[in-house]
Amino acid sequence: MNRNARALSPVALDVESSLDLTARYERVRGLTERLAAPLSPEDQTSQSMPDASPTKWHRAHVTWFFETFVLERYEEGFVPFDASFRMLFNSYYEAVGPKFPRPQRGLVTRPGVADIADYRADVDRRMTSTIAREGNALDDLVTLGLHHEQQHQELLLMDIKHLLSLHPGGEAYRAQATPDSSPATPAQWLECTGGLVEIGHDGAGFAFDNEAPRHRHFLEPFAIAERLVTVSEWRSFITDGGYRRPDLWLSDGWNTVQSLHWERPIYWLDDHATAHTLGGVRRLHDAEPVSHVSLYEADAFARWSEARLPTEFEWEQAVAEHAGDLLDSTSLDLDRLEPWPANITADETGRLRQAFGHCWQWTSSAYSAYPGFVAPDGAIGEYNAKFMSGQMVLRGSSSLTPPGHARATYRNFFPPSARWPMTGLRLARGLAS
């Protein structure tokens, strides 16, 4: 079976979301524990950089979210599991009160991993009974908490990958399957006519606040690449002096390349043939999507290719026009936590491929509010709105994204220098109108 090209019927997703809330809660919560399971207490404690967090912090913080935003409001006779956790596991919610400094999360050795398991079990027990009592009234808030936990599941994997990469030699999170070694084929261009299109989530099913409101946007005609940029293409960019030619780079990008001495994607070894992965160091395959590149690198590559990155609106419209019901695998697979080469079969020709399940795809759009966007009141309003500055939108999903978490309207965002997320790119170019 070709793992890269299976059709997910929309029904399957409906089934998923039709699970009752308790079942969905248990499913998501259980996955977090499965993701942490291969990691020792030592692995779960360290923080590799200010942007990353320890595994045990992720496990506690997502639990804190339920305790603070659900139990504190809805549980009868609420008593916190540990009063010190309110500050300790607050990430960035100013409205909740003080928070422990982010760069020092790796210094909080207590509570330990076993204590956090107790914390999770206690909150799960209380959540289950609160959900049972309150019923549908909690659906929106708990669903938000579950999507929040899914985001942290991906962060947990990104962060542990980064930590293990700093170990001399590179340590593995877990053994990984080997991708096929088929050669890369030239990317085909898919054309989109543009015009006045609708962008954003239509309100059916869960979406984050930043995906709304759905609104009109005018697009000039454009073409978009059928597949992601590959390792093989990236090697050509390097060989052609891509990291040494200032004319290819944004000014901020060139400053970054020079000050951080970038010469290749973050996890590539200097042979350009092997890379650090969650499965340890392995061979790179020509046809696999290049991953762990920054917006600066993606933008320079696009310029070198005489193309450009799509806007987030173009990306969303291209999926609407060209992806049809053919989606790549969107199920997070612990045996296959890396992007997979795109092996195109006959029936897929002319369709947008690798939209989901491989790499988040940088767009040229700065992250900002949609027209008419209003942030929710209170702490929940801090979820997305306050980050609408200095970040770029990524679309799609990655091989680290949990099942049921991807959407065509999903707006992920990172600073343009970020390389530790599972990021890649897809090219676009204008068409004469």
CA atoms within 13 A on the CB side of 336: 19
Nearer to its own copies, 82 or 124 (CB): 82
The interface region with its own copies, picked from 83-91, 128-136, 236-244, 321-329 by CB under 8 A, is: 83-91
Asked whether position 249 contacts its own copies by CB under 8 A, the answer is yes
Q: Which of 104, 129, 181, 349 binds its own copies (CB under 8 A)?
A: 104
Q: How far is the CB of 303 from its own copies (least distance, A)?
A: 9
d(CA 387, CA 366): 11
The interface region with its own copies, picked from 68-76, 244-252, 280-288, 338-346 by CB under 8 A, is: 244-252
By CB under 8 A, how many residues form the interface with its own copies? 65
Nearer to its own copies, 205 or 415 (CB): 415
The interface region with its own copies, picked from 8-16, 57-65, 182-190, 248-256 by CB under 8 A, is: 248-256
d(CA 412, CA 210): 10
Q: Token pair 């612990």 is at which residue? A: 334
Q: Which of 53, 150, 151, 364 binds its own copies (CB under 8 A)?
A: 364
Asked whether position 44 contacts its own copies by CB under 8 A, the answer is yes
Whose CA is closest to 431, among 186, 195, 187?
195
Asked whether position 84 contacts its own copies by CB under 8 A, the answer is yes
Asked whether position 179 contacts its own copies by CB under 8 A, the answer is no
d(CA 355, CA 341): 13
d(CA 385, CA 375): 6
The interface region with its own copies, picked from 174-182, 229-237, 340-348, 388-396 by CB under 8 A, is: 388-396
Nearer to its own copies, 329 or 412 (CB): 412
Residues 6+ apart with CB under 8 A from 223: 189, 190, 191, 192, 428, 429, 430, 431
Asked whether position 117 contacts its own copies by CB under 8 A, the answer is no
* Adjacent-strand bridge partners of 198: 216
CA dihedral 373, 378, 380, 385 (to 10 degrees): 40
Compute and round to an integer the Cα radius of gyration of the chain.
21
Asked whether position 135 contacts its own copies by CB under 8 A, the answer is no
Helices (H), 95-192: 113-134, 139-165
Asked whether position 280 contacts its own copies by CB under 8 A, the answer is no
Asked whether position 186 contacts its own copies by CB under 8 A, the answer is no
Q: Which of 215, 260, 269, 271 binds its own copies (CB under 8 A)?
A: 215
Q: Which of 36, 65, 106, 418 binds its own copies (CB under 8 A)?
A: 106
Strands 189-192 and 222-225, bridge-based pairing: antiparallel
d(CA 364, CA 212): 19
Residues 6+ apart with CB under 8 A from 28: 146, 149, 150, 402
Burial of 241 (0-12, 13-18, 19+ CB in 10 A): exposed
Asked whether position 94 contacts its own copies by CB under 8 A, the answer is yes
Q: Which of 6, 125, 167, 244 binds its own copies (CB under 8 A)?
A: 167
Asked whether position 41 contacts its own copies by CB under 8 A, the answer is yes
Q: Which of residues 401-420 bind its own copies (CB under 8 A)?
A: 416
Distance of CA 49 to the CA centre of its chain: 18
Residues 6+ apart with CB under 8 A from 51: 418, 420
Q: Which of 136, 218, 325, 346 binds its own copies (CB under 8 A)?
A: 218
- Binding residues for its own copies, per CB under 8 A? 40-46, 48, 56, 84, 87-88, 92, 94-95, 100, 104, 106-110, 112-113, 163-164, 166-169, 171, 196, 215-220, 246-247, 249-254, 295-296, 299, 308, 364-366, 368-369, 371-372, 382, 386-390, 416, 430
